[in-house]
Amino acid sequence: MPTATASARKLLVTVTYNGLPKSFEVEPHASVQSLLQHAIHTFGIAQQPHLFALFGSAGELADQSSLQDAGVKEGDVLILRPSAVRGGGQ
């Protein structure tokens, strides 16, 4: 029988883009950035992917945070959409 610890347990979260939900199995210690990049690739976003961010119930998730530190929990639904604070300086 496996003796997985709580820290080794993966989380199942849903990312929604334009109303289309997709499930992702992620490590709690993984970065928000890694899930963001995986979601962008999965949804096939080719135009200006650097402008996108993940949003939870409390707002935009910080890319540098781990999912756990950002408060992401099992079963959470995150939204993939353009960030209001990203982009060029013009």
The three state secondary structure string of 45-79 is CCCCHHHEEEEECCEECCCCCECCCCCCCCCCEEE
Closest listed residue to residue 72, CA positions, set 40, 26, 18 = 26
CA 86 to chain CA centroid, nearest Å:
16
- 57 falls within a domain: yes
CATH number, domain containing residue 56 = 3.10.20.90
Q: What is the pLDDT of residues 25-72, one digit of tens each?
A: 999 999 999 999 999 999 999 999 999 999 999 899 999 999 999 999
Q: Per-residue pLDDT for 85 more than 50?
A: yes
- 3 falls within a domain: no
- 5 falls within a domain: no
- Location of structure tokens 């939900």: 21
pTM: predicted TM-score of the whole model, two decimal places: 0.84
